[in-house]
Structure 1
Amino acid sequence: MPKYTKRSVALITAGVVAVSGGAAWAAWTILGDGSATATAGTAAELDITGTSITALVPGGTSDVTLTVSNPNTFPVKVTSLEFVSITTTKSGCDAAANVEFASEALPTSPATALDVPAKTGTTNGSKEITVAGALRMVSDADDDCQGASFTIVTEVDGLSNAA
C-alpha cells in the first residue's frame, strides 16, 4: 500500500482544484453583430362627412358638425380646416351668393377636441368636430333657396399624434 504523506495529499488536492478551476474557465465569450431593416408605412387620407346642425334662414348662422374618419393605424390631430366651396342642386338658388362661410375656427377645448383616434382592427377611428357658427345665410337670400340642401367641400389638415 502506498504511503501518503502530508505533502502528497496537498499536491493531490492542488491538482483537483486546478482541474476544477480549469473547467470553470472553459466558457467562451461570444460576440456578434448584424443589421435589420424597417420600412415606414404611408399615411392614408382622412375622410370627412358633415351636417349642418340647424336649418339656415336669412340672416341666421348654423354650426356644422364634421365627422373625421381616420383609416391610419396611428392617431391624428386635426390642425386646420377649410371650407372650400358650397353648391346646391336646387334650381334658381345660387349657393355661393346666398350662403357664406362665417367661421372656420376649430374648437380649442377640451385639449383632445381635435384628436382622431387610430384605426382599430377593421374599424376606422372617428371624431366629431363642431365648428360653431360656420355657415351664414345672407339676409336677402333668394326665395328659391327655401328648402335647398347645400353641399360643402371641406378640407382638413392633420399631423400624426402618436405618443
Structure 2
Amino acid sequence: MKNPTLRRVLVVTTVVGATLGGGIAVAAWTSSGSGAANAKAGTASAPTTGTVAASAFTSGLLYPGGPAGDAKILVNNPNPYPVRVSGVAANGTPTGSAGTGTCTTTGVSLTAQSPNTTVPAGGSATLTLAGAVSMSTASDDGCQGALFTIPVTVTVVSG
C-alpha cells in the first residue's frame, strides 16, 4: 500500500472496530433469578425373612442348659437400593418342629443382635447370628433334633 491516507483510514477503522467490538462484549448484561427445584423421595419397603434349611445347621447346635447356639436368617431386600441390617430381635414365641416328639416347651430364646450386614438392592443375604440363641433346661425331651422357628423383627437402614 503506497497511499498513506488510505493506510491511516484503515488503521483508524481497525482500531475503532476493535474498540467497539470490545465495548459490546463489556456491555453484555447478566441476570439471575431464584425459584425452586422439585424432587420426590421413594418409599422404603419392609424387608422380609425366609427360612433356612435344617441342613444348613452343622455347628452352634442347641442343648438344654448348654452354650449359646447359632441362628440363621434369610433377609430379602425388595428395595431398589442396598440396606444394612442394623438389628434382629425376638418378636414372639419360638416353636419347634421335626423333633423326636412333642416340643411344646422349647426353652429357646434369642438375644437381640446388630449384625450390620449389607443386603444388595433387590437381593437377599443369609445371616448367621453366632451365639444368638440359647435353650433352657425347661425344654421338652421331644425337642431333640427339632428345627426352631423364632419370630423376629428385622431392622434395616439404607446404605
Same fold by TM (over 0.5)? yes
The match for 1:78 among 85, 89, 107 is 85
Amino acid at match of 1:135: V
Amino acid at match of 1:159: V
Q: Which residue of 1 aligns with 2:137?
A: 139
The match for 2:75 among 48, 68, 71 is 68
Paired residues, number: 146
Distance 1:125 1:25 in 2: 63
Q: Which residue of 2 aligns with 1:48?
A: 49
Amino acid at match of 2:125: K
Long gaps (5+) in structure 2: none
Deviation at 1:25, TM superposition (A): 4.1
Deviation at 1:47, TM superposition (A): 1.9
Moved more, 17-26 or 37-46: 17-26
The match for 1:152 among 144, 150, 153 is 150
Amino acid at match of 2:107: V
TM-aligned CA distance change 1:134 to 1:115, over 3 Å: closer
Deviation at 1:39, TM superposition (A): 0.5
In 1, are the aligned partners of 2:89 and 2:113 still within 8 Å (CA)? no
Deviation at 1:152, TM superposition (A): 1.3
CA RMSD, Structure 1 to Structure 2 (Å): 3.2
Deviation at 1:57, TM superposition (A): 3.6
Amino acid at match of 1:58: P
1:58-104: per-residue Cα shift (whole Å, max 9, x none)? Answer: 3344201223222223332222220112124678422xx32221533
Moved more, 24-33 or 97-106: 24-33
Amino acid at match of 1:81: V
In 1, are the aligned partners of 2:89 and 2:111 still within 8 Å (CA)? no
Q: Which residue of 2 aligns with 1:59?
A: 65
Quick check: which one's strand share is greater?
1
TM-score, normalization: structure 2? Answer: 0.68
Distance 2:123 2:39 in 1: 25
SS of the aligned residue for 1:22 comes to helix
Amino acid at match of 1:145: C
Query: Percent identity, aligned pairs only?
Result: 29
In 1, are the aligned partners of 2:83 and 2:156 still within 8 Å (CA)? yes
SS of the aligned residue for 1:98 comes to coil
Amino acid at match of 1:132: A
The match for 1:129 among 124, 127, 151 is 127
1:94-145: per-residue Cα shift (whole Å, max 9, x none)? Answer: 2xx32221533435xxxxxx231441xxxx2333322222222333532333
